[in-house]
Amino acid sequence: LVVPPQGNYIIGYLNVVDTSSQQDEEPDAITSASTSYTASTPVCGVAFIAPPNGKVWVHWHAEMQNDTAAAFCLAAFQVREGDTVNSGPVFLPSSENRRLTQRGTVANADTQGFGSSYLVSGLTPHASYNVVHLVRVTAGMGQFASRRIGTAPD
């Protein structure tokens, strides 16, 4: 390396680590009779650092069935501020417009798996967030298996 005699120079290395890509999977089935979105135990979620553009894709999946014919099972997510999963102020609440839906015609007979993706924007670059998988039913007892959630930068 030859440095000219005049001027200011900064020489160094930049180590970039992508912490916006994270994934969690809870393969064991859980049940819920809640008619409001709730995180179940064990919690399925991940903490991530927002990328410089403030956008991440959230990908989520669940296999669902209900013990009541014609009742719905739903799975959604919410994004919270901070690096502790299922804690901190809600940045993006769950929504009926961002959900997975299963409706069986026969009780305990129509297990179906679904997945979807949603682009979350407006995140503060380099700030900590967490995303958590939520479930609910319209009636009866829902069973939720193979719950997965992940994030990836846009």
Instruction: Report the Cα 14 to chain-centroid distance in Å.
Output: 29
Quote the pTM value: 0.84
CB 148 within 8 A of CB 43: no
Q: Which pLDDT score, from 0 to 100, does residue 87 have?
A: 97
Q: Which helix (H) or strand (E) holds 75?
A: strand 72-81
Q: So what's the pLDDT on residue 5?
A: 52
Only one residue has tokens 């609910």, namely: 136
* Contact assessment for residue 137 and residue 76, using Cβ atoms and an 8 Å cutoff: no
What residue ranges of the chain have pLDDT lower than 70? 1-19
Alpha carbon separation from 21 to 34, 56, 60, 73 (Å, rounded) = 30, 8, 13, 28
Rounded Cα gap, residues 132 and 142, in angstroms: 18
Check if the beta carbon of residue 71 is closer than 8 Å to that of residue 106. Answer: no
Cα distance between residue 79 and residue 81, in whole Å: 7
